[in-house]
Amino acid sequence: MTLFDIIFTGSKQALEAAKAAVDSAIEKKGSDAKVAFPETAYSLPTIYAATGKKIGNLGELRDVLSIVESLIVPEQNLEKALNAGLATALSAEIIEACKYAVEEKPYSEPCAGFISDAVIRSLGVPLVTGDIPGVAVVIGEAPSVEEAAKIIKNYQNKGLLVCLVGKIIDQAIEGKVKVGLELRVVPLGYDVTSVIHVVTVAIRAALIFGAVPPGNLEELLKYTRERVPAFVNALGPLSELVVSAGAGAIALGFPVITDQDVQEVPHFLITQKDYDKIVPTSLEARGIKIKITEVPIPVGFAAAFEGERVRKED
C-alpha cells in the first residue's frame, strides 16, 4: 500500500468511528443534546477554526460528518493526503466531543483530556515567545519503561511540554516520571483520539494569540507551522489510523518521528530506531535549539528554562 493509501484508509476508519460515536450519542441523548468541551470559548476548537462554525448540539455535530467526508479524496497527491489527515483530526474531535456529550466526566486521573482556555492562556505566552521551547507529543508505546522514561525526562529537562497519549502514560508512571501540568508532562488519554486535545492547544493558540480568523484554514495552518513548535513521536506499531493522524500533524506543520519502518518523507516523517537519538532527531526536525546547559528537573515553572527556536541552518 502506498503511504497515501495508508493515510486514506486510516482517515476512512476514523470517519466511520466518528459516525458511530455520533449515532450512539444521539441514541443515548437525542440530537438536541448539548455538545461542548469544558471551559472554552471556542466550542469544538478544531471544527471552529477550520470551518468557522460553532457546534451546539449533537444534531449539528452530525452535520459536520459530511464536511469530514468531503475532505477524504483518495487521489495520489500530497494535498489530498494532508486533507485526509485533517479529516482524521476532525473525526477525532467529533469522537472526543461525543464522550463529553454522553459522560459527565469522561477523563479522570492521571488523564487530562480536554485542556481549558485558562491553561492555554498561561501556556500560550511562553509557548509563542519560546520560553517553552517546544511541545513533544508522544503517542503509543516505547519498547520498555526505561526507554519511555528516558525520552520523556529528556524532553522535560529541556523545558519542553510533553503530552502523552496511549500506553506510554502507564510507562511514564511506572518509570517514575512525575506528571502534571506544572511539571510539563501531561497525560492526555489512552485512546488515539485524545491526541486532539493537544491539537486544540495549538489551534486555540492560533485563535487567541495569532488572531487567526475562524474558518481561515490556510492561515491557521501557517500559524501552527510557523509559530507552534510541536512535533510528534509515534512509538510502537503504527495503525493506519495513527498514520493518518500523523498526516494531520504534518498538515499543521508538525514533523512525525517514529521508531517504526515507514516510508520516510523528507523533513516531515522520519524513522529513528535509536532511542537515544529520538530526542535530538526530533528537536532538529522541528528546528528547536536548546540554548542553556541542562539542569536537573525543577519544581514548577522555572525561569531557567529558556529556549530558543532557530532554523537548522542558522
Partner 1 sequence: MENCGCITCDAATKELYEKAKNEGIETVWDRARAMQPQCGFGEMGLCCTNCGMGPCRIVKVSKDGPQAGICGATEDTIVARNFARSVAAGAAAHSDHGRDIALALYHVDDKARIKDEEKLFKLADEWGITVEGKDTVQVAKEVAEKALGEFGKVFGNLLFLKRAPEKRIKLWEETGVASEAIDKEIVRVLHSTHMGCDADYRNIIRQAIRAAMTDGWGGSMIGTELSDILFGTPMPKKVEANLGVLKKEYVNIVVHGHEPTLSEAIVVAARDPELVELAKKQGAEGINVAGMCCTGNEIAMRHGIPMAGNFFQQELAIMTGAVEAMIVDVQCIMPSLATITKCYHTKLITTSPKAKIPGATHIEFDEQKSFEIAKRIVKEAVMNFKNRKGEVHIPDEKSEGRIGYSLEAIIKTLDRVTNTHAHPSGTVKPLVDAIKSGVLRGAVAIVGCNNHKQPHDSCHVTLAKELLKRDILVVTTGCGAHACVKAGLMSDDARKYCGKGLATVCELLDIPPVLHMGSCVDISRILVLLSEVAKYIGGDISDLPVAAAAPEWMSEKAQAIGLYAVASGVYVLLGVAPAVTGSENVATYLTKDIESVFGGRFEIESDPVKAAEKIAAHIENKRKRLGI
Q: Which residues bind partner 1 (CB under 8 A)?
A: 2-4, 76-79, 81-82, 257, 263-267, 269-272, 277, 280-281, 284-285, 312-313
- Provide, rounded to whole angstroms, the least separation between the CB of residue 7 and partner 1: 10
Q: For partner 1, which is the closer residue by CB, 115 or 235?
A: 235
Looking at the Cβ atoms of 39 and 264, the one nearer to partner 1 is 264
126 touches 96 (CB < 8 A): no
Task: State the DSSP code for 209.
Answer: T
Element (H, E) at 205: helix 196-208
Closest contact distance (angstroms) between CB of 39 and partner 1 is: 36
* Nearer residue to partner 1 within complex by CB, 19 or 222: 222
104 versus 274: smaller Cβ distance to partner 1: 274
Question: Nearest CA to 176 among 195, 193, 156, 160?
Answer: 156
Helix (H, G, I), strand (E, B) or coil at 236: coil
| Burial (CB count <10 Å: 0-12, 13-18, 19+), residue 211 | exposed
Nearer Cβ to partner 1, position 186 or 221? 221
Minimum CB–partner distance for residue 214 and partner 1 (Å): 23
d(CA 235, CA 168): 9
- Residues 283 and 292: their CA atoms lie apart, in Å, by 14
Residue closer to partner 1, measured from CB, 117 or 240:
240
Q: How far is the CB of 270 from partner 1 (least distance, A)?
A: 5
Cell of 134: 517546544
Please tell me the distance from the alpha carbon of residue 181 to that of residue 144, in angstroms, as a whole number: 24
CA 205, CA 184: separation in Å to the nearest integer? 17
At closest approach, how far in Å is the CB of 80 from partner 1? 8
CB of 199 to partner 1, least distance (A): 20
C-alpha cell at 172: 511514564
